Structure 1
Amino acid sequence: MSDNSEVEGDTHMGTKEPQQRRRYVDMWALPGIHPSNVELLQKLKTADTNHFTTNMDVVGTVSEQDPESGDWEKSHMLGLRTDVWKADKAEMEDALDVLQNQRRTELKRQIKKSGRLSRKQQKQLDEQLAEDCVMQMDAGAIEKRRLVLKLFKTSNERTSWCGTIEQITTSEIHNSIGTGKSLLSMVVMLPRSECVTYIQQNHRTFRIPSLFTFAFYHDGRMQHVVLKRRWISVGADYEIEVGGKSIGEIDGRLFSFGSDSYLDLDPSELSENRKFVDLMTLFTASIGYHKAMRKSIDRRVKATLCGDAHCHVIEDEEIRLLHNGRAAA
């Protein structure tokens, strides 16, 4: 089965007018013990898609409103990679072992590029290891947390991957160091899309509410999108603007057990674009994690500025996102 079997709706069909799109993103506060988790987890584990991995947990659902009847239908699930978001003690200890082995090899090569060390050289290495900050690190000092959320379309017949939003810690570190503020960076990957979409939080000196921007490639041109968090709101509310004009909003629910939000898109060419709607759904789902993500950035920046860059673990998957596709093989 293809990972994206649904009709994309990227082009206008005849003279049909664009319709409003409304989704309700229900993020669970305690996904591990949510009564629906066992059933949904089993459905995703048996799905014909390699995007749902063993280290993933169902953390929420998405319902979509029929623009004509007004009826709601539970249409999507959201999965979280728990191995990188909630690394347990054993995983942190394994990560520390890898770091310390790499550091030991690095110090050894500084003494002798290859071959066995002499007794004098071994003594020199032992002295350096005893004083080295990496070798003295505790597993709790490693910052490995990174958000990876995936959206799945569900039905009675099949389950398919609709997109992934990932935290880009490398961008977060240099942006946060340069501005003195904890700024989030994320990338969204959508099936059958030529381009990935980078979502960047921006820093403005005299404005506290969050501001995110990104460029979405659509119909042969880039659409520049601004997500402005409102100054006064009862939840995490964002105005969605394209070209300086509002095209919708994210309405966060204050009195909810988890992190729930309505995503409303006014009738437009983008509201008819299924990929854009899925992208906005992924961002909406990520909002409840933003506070914890900023705390993680603070720890990474502090470690980096103190010279303990080894405390900032960068996953191989994140490194692959930085690869130069034009580089010679």
Structure 2
Amino acid sequence: MAKKDPQPCRRYIDMWAMPGMHPSNVELVQQLTTADSNAFTTNMKVVGTVSTQDNESGSWNKTHMLGLRTDVWNMDKGELEDALDVMQDQRRQELKKSIKKSGRLDAKQQAKLDEMMAEDTVMNMEPGEIEKRRLVLKLFKTTGERTAWCGTIEQITITEVHTSMAVGKNLLTMCVMLPRTECVTTIQQCHRTFRIPAMFSFAFCHDGQVHHAVLKRKWVSIGADFDIEVGGENIGEIDGRLFSFGADSYLDIDAGELSEDRRFMDLMTLFTASVGYHKAMRKSVDRRVKATLSGEAHCHKIEDEEIRLMHNGRAAA
């Protein structure tokens, strides 16, 4: 049997401006809570859908959903207050140990501790001063009888801060985890002399092959449009919709090896879904960098999940 020629792949990513108010949200959440993985957590909210175009009929089929971790993107006042309580308790213990390594303090030592706490930056912080916002988006396949996790894109604030400090511009960094893949893909915004338009790059490793990709935002475009280049060749584009309710985009990949690689398409879908959040992400990076440069790095809250992504796999157990 003759091998079929590769087919192009076209997806429509429909991101909702007000996910909590979308009429489909309740039904979609019910589907996701029965997913075959624990990737959909109680703090997740559906924020969009993905449709794939059939190459023969031209019809669109809704194939995926996108979930946002609202506990790390939209923190309420109570969560920030709890985070500050923990930070201040830790700081109090540090100040106490600087006076006396262990044991209770006498009256004179307690007075010194009270004086140090009154002047300490952390002890005088307000909940709103903590920068904890971080983007975590997850993709789920919804066709067929089962709902399955297809990948996650996460903002890496640690890298964002030091790269932004180095070049004096706020640069974004995200990593993508895909099922049944050993490698994590890091998508890095690259520094350009005039800053605009944005450019991102990454290396996609799969089945022993490495594909070097560059995502170039177009100089002139109505929406957030990107050219997609792999190995120096243009293989597709992201066509952002300006007059849309949310942050909708078409993702087009030309016929070839990567258009038929489901993991690559899922990776590009996750990046496309993240574009609508980039402006807010850069504002978050700006606050973290300013806090770090002013000597208030404690305002840059880092989650344990982000630290785990940096673990050394070759370290001895």
TM-score of the superposition, structure 2-length normalised?
A: 0.98
Question: Per the alignment, do residues 62 and 89 of structure 1 end up closer, same or farther by CA in structure 2, a change over 3 Å counting?
Answer: same
- 1:241 to 2:233 alignment: no
2:148 to 160, 164, 175: 160
Cross-structure match for 1:256: 244
Cross-structure match for 1:133: 121
* Displacement after TM superposition at 1:207 (Å): 5.0
Cross-structure match for 1:9: none
Cross-structure match for 1:67: 55
**Residue-pair matches, total:** 317
3-state SS of the aligned residue for 1:284? helix
State the Cα deviation string for residues 91-148 of structure 1 (Å, max 9, x = none). 0000100110111111111112222222221111111001001000000100000000
Cross-structure match for 1:269: 257
- 1:34 to 2:22 alignment: yes
How far apart, CA to CA, are the structure 2 residues paired with 1:155 and 1:242?
A: 29
After TM superposition, what 4+ stretches of structure 1 lie above 6 angstroms from structure 2? none
Q: Match of 1:87, as an amino acid? A: M
How far apart, CA to CA, are the structure 1 residues paired with 2:22 and 2:117?
A: 47
The 5 Å alignment of 1:14-25 reads 15-25=3-13
1:79 to 54, 67, 79: 67
% same residue: 74
How far apart, CA to CA, are the structure 2 residues paired with 1:48 and 1:280?
A: 23
Q: Match of 1:298, as an amino acid? A: D
3-state SS of the aligned residue for 2:260? coil
Q: Match of 2:260, as an amino acid? A: E
Cross-structure match for 2:176: 188
How far apart, CA to CA, are the structure 2 residues paired with 1:79 and 1:203?
A: 30
Cross-structure match for 1:57: 45
TM-score of the superposition, structure 1-length normalised?
A: 0.95
3-state SS of the aligned residue for 1:259? coil
How far apart, CA to CA, are the structure 2 residues paired with 1:151 and 1:275?
A: 11
The 5 Å alignment of 1:1-329 reads 15-155=3-143, 157-206=145-194, 208-329=196-317
State the Cα deviation string for residues 140-177 of structure 1 (Å, max 9, x = none). 10000000000000035110000000000000000111
How far apart, CA to CA, are the structure 2 residues paired with 1:76 and 1:170?
A: 30
How far apart, CA to CA, are the structure 2 residues paired with 1:94 and 1:73?
A: 43
Q: Match of 1:74, as an amino acid? A: K
* Displacement after TM superposition at 1:206 (Å): 3.2
* Displacement after TM superposition at 1:49 (Å): 1.6
Question: Per the alignment, do residues 104 and 14 of structure 1 end up closer, same or farther by CA in structure 2, a change over 3 Å counting?
Answer: farther
* Displacement after TM superposition at 1:205 (Å): 0.6
Moved more, 301-310 or 224-233: 301-310
How far apart, CA to CA, are the structure 1 residues paired with 2:154 and 2:207?
A: 24
Moved more, 42-51 or 221-230: 42-51
Q: Match of 1:271, as an amino acid? A: S
* Displacement after TM superposition at 1:67 (Å): 1.2
CA contact (8 A) 2:157 2:173 kept: yes
How far apart, CA to CA, are the structure 2 residues paired with 1:260 and 1:14?
A: 38
Q: Match of 1:198, as an amino acid? A: T
Q: Which runs of 5+ in 1 are unaligned?
A: 1-12
- The root-mean-square deviation of aligned C-alpha atoms, in Å, is 1.1
3-state SS of the aligned residue for 1:60? strand
Q: Which runs of 5+ in 2 are unaligned?
A: none
